Amino acid sequence: MTQLIDGKAIAKEIRKNIKEEVVTLYNEYRLIPGLCVILVGEDPASQIYVRNKERACKEVGIHSTVIRMSEEVTEKELLETIERLNRDDTMHGILVQLPLPGHINEDAVINAIHPSKDVDGFHPINVGMLMTSQANLQPCTPKGIIRLIEETGQNIAGKQAVVIGRSNIVGKPVALMLLQKHATVTIAHSRTKNLAEVAQAADILVVAIGKPDFIDSSFVKEGAIVIDVGTTRVNGSLKGDVKFDEMKEKAGYLTPVPGGVGPMTITMLLDNTLIAAKSSL
């Protein structure tokens, strides 16, 4: 019988703990964690994400500021805003909502955020620290995925893990983090031959390819932990990369979409902001 991994419930419990830590931080040091989100343009999906982040910050007592900039803003103006925030002691986390307009170099923007305030975990220094198991700020979605796997009660150490997807945001970092937990890790992608056969070897299968319903039950062995990172809007509703109805008859543990990885991503952003604030002491 497949057990669903309830990301909403797990995130709720973690946020409760974060809220308690935020209160303690204020009582002991008069310090309130601060997060600034920069939103460029009017992308509807980005607007929703930013509103959700604002609500989440309010819920746990983190001071949240949103800087909204027009789509025509120059790269120079954006970089100057980031530099000002780097110097602002009340802002412990800086997040630039992606994607950015085509005339702005995303790498230049990510690199401009001070690594100690990079709550997305995307700065090259933080990526390098992740590689050497020293990262203070880990990428939010991979960090949430690891917590979801751990919540099953299954030991990651010694397990065969397959990650389908090799993005810098999810695939590569989650593979590194699984490796740090002593799993044996395979990264598969669009050019992997016999993909279903590779996936069938997994005790832990993480799917992050952005192709709705691409992974059916033939890709998974009985009893595997399946983490579906996909969120593609189809006919007004969110669909994962995994065929949910098929997979729930075969997987041992399975994340739903929505309600699995999504709530954990924003929760890990809150956790990273708290970590950044504590590190500033």
Conformational region of residue 233, where left means phi above 0, alpha means psi within -120 to 50, and beta covers everything else: beta
> What's the rounded Cα separation, in Å, for the pair 116 and 228?
30
Give yes or no: 138 in active site. Answer: no
Give yes or no: 58 in active site. Answer: no
Give yes or no: 53 in active site. Answer: yes
Structure tokens at 32: 């309130």
- Residue among 104, 111, 54, 105 at smallest CA distance from 82: 111
In this structure, what DSSP letter does residue 116 have? G
List 6, 12, 19, 97, catalytic entry: 97
Q: Cα angle vertex 144, ends 265, 128, to 5°?
A: 95
- Residues 132, 73: contact at Cβ < 8 Å? no
- Residues 11, 260: contact at Cβ < 8 Å? no
φ, ψ at 49 (rounded to 5°): -60, -45
List 118, 120, 241, 271, catalytic entry: 120
> What's the rounded Cα separation, in Å, for the pair 209 and 189?
8
- Hey, what amino acid is at 239? K
List 6, 12, 43, 53, catalytic entry: 53
Residue identified by tokens 């399975």 is 254
Active site residues: 53, 97, 120
